[in-house]
C-alpha cells in the first residue's frame, strides 16, 4: 500500500515545481521530469517497453507530455491525458493517434495550425493563437486518471493558465471541464454556483475568461458521429471569434487579485 506521507511529499513537490516555473519552458521541464504519481510512472514506462506491434521499432517517449503550441495563445485547449500509443509514444499532445488526426485537421481548417496532420514531434506542426494542455500529463491505465492523480497534476494546469493568460479555454470532454473549474475555484476565481455543467457547446463566462465545452475527439465520439468535423469547426471558430473580440463580448467580472 502506498505510503500517504510519500504521496503528500510528491504532491508538495509538484506544487513547488509549478510555482517555481517562471516561464513556459521552465514549466515544461518541470512537467517532463515529474515522477509524482507512482501508478502513472509505472504504466507510462510499461507501455513504452511493451510497444504496440505497429510501433515495435520506435523508441517511446514514455514520460509526462508537456503542453504544446503558441506561448502567446488567446485560446487554451484542455484535453484529458496523453494516449498510450499517441502522446506517450511521440512526446507531443494529440500526435500520432486518431484523436490527434481528427483534432489537428480541424485546427488546420479553422486557421490555428499550419498543417492538417500531427504524426511526430519533428513534423513541422506549428500552432498559432492556440495552445494544447492537459489536466493529467501522463498516460493513465484505461485512459482513466484517478481523482488523486488529477489533484496532484493540477498545479501544472494552474500555472499554465497564469503564464499564458488565455481569453478562451476550450475543454475536450467533461474531465477537462471539471479540472479547469477546480483550478479556477482553487485560484479564487468567481466560479458560478451551482457549478456549470459540461455539454458540447456550453459557454460560461468566469471573470475575464470564457469556458467552452467540446466533446472529446475520441474515436468513439468521431466514429459514431457524436462529434463531427462541422461540429468541432463551429466551436473552434466560436473560440477564435471570442478570443479576437469579433464575437459579442460577454459580461466580465473583474479577476480576483
Residue 250 lies in a domain: no
Low-confidence ranges of the chain (pLDDT < 50): 249-257
Q: What is residue 9's predicted lDDT score, i.e. its pLDDT?
A: 75
Q: Domain containing 166 — which CATH number?
A: 3.40.470.10
Q: What is residue 249's predicted lDDT score, i.e. its pLDDT?
A: 46
Residue 13 lies in a domain: yes
pTM, to two decimals: 0.92
Q: How many domains does the chain have?
A: 1
Q: Which domain holds residue 13?
A: 4-244
76-111 in b/e burial notation, b at 16+ Cβ within 10 A? bbbbbbbbbbbbbbbbbbbbbbebbbbbbbbbbbbe
Residue 136 lies in a domain: yes
Collect all residues with Cβ–Cβ distance below 8 Å to 5 and sequence separation of at least 6: none
Q: 212-230: per-residue pLDDT in tens?
A: 999 999 999 999 999 999 9
Q: What is residue 252's predicted lDDT score, i.e. its pLDDT?
A: 33
Residue 195 lies in a domain: yes
Q: 85-132: per-residue pLDDT in tens?
A: 999 999 999 999 999 999 999 999 999 999 999 999 999 999 999 999
Cα–Cα dist 46/30, whole Å: 22
Residue 184 lies in a domain: yes
Q: What is residue 100's predicted lDDT score, i.e. its pLDDT?
A: 97
Average pLDDT, the chain: 93
Residue 189 lies in a domain: yes
Q: What is residue 15's predicted lDDT score, i.e. its pLDDT?
A: 87
Amino acid at each position: 500500500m502506498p505510503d500517504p506521507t510519500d504521496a503528500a511529499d510528491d504532491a508538495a513537490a509538484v506544487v513547488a515545481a509549478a510555482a517555481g516555473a517562471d516561464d513556459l519552458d521552465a514549466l515544461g521541464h518541470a512537467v517532463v521530469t515529474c515522477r509524482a504519481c507512482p501508478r502513472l510512472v509505472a504504466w507510462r514506462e510499461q507501455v513504452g517497453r511493451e510497444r504496440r506491434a505497429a510501433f515495435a521499432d520506435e523508441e517511446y517517449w514514455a514520460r509526462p507530455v508537456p503542453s504544446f503550441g503558441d506561448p502567446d495563445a488567446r485560446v487554451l485547449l484542455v484535453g484529458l491525458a496523453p494516449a498510450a500509443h499517441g502522446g506517450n509514444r511521440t512526446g507531443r499532445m494529440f500526435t500520432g493517434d486518431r484523436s490527434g488526426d481528427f483534432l489537428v485537421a480541424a485546427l488546420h481548417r479553422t486557421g490555428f495550425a499550419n498543417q492538417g496532420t500531427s504524426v511526430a514531434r519533428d513534423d513541422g506542426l506549428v500552432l498559432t493563437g492556440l495552445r494544447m494542455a492537459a489536466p493529467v500529463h501522463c498516460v493513465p491505465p484505461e485512459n482513466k486518471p484517478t481523482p488523486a492523480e488529477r489533484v496532484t497534476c493540477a498545479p501544472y494546469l494552474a500555472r499554465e493558465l497564469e503564464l499564458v493568460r488565455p481569453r478562451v479555454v476550450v475543454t475536450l470532454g467533461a474531465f477537462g471541464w471539471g479540472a479547469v473549474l477546480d483550478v479556477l475555484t482553487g485560484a479564487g476565481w468567481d466560479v458560478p454556483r451551482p457549478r456549470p455543467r459540461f455539454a458540447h457547446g456550453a459557454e460560461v463566462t468566469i471573470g475575464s475568461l470564457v469556458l467552452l465545452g467540446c466533446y472529446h475527439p475520441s474515436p468513439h465520439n468521431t466514429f459514431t458521429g457524436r462529434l463531427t468535423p462541422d461540429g468541432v469547426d463551429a466551436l473552434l471558430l466560436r473560440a477564435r471569434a471570442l478570443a479576437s473580440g469579433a464575437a459579442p463580448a460577454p459580461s466580465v467580472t473583474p479577476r480576483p487579485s
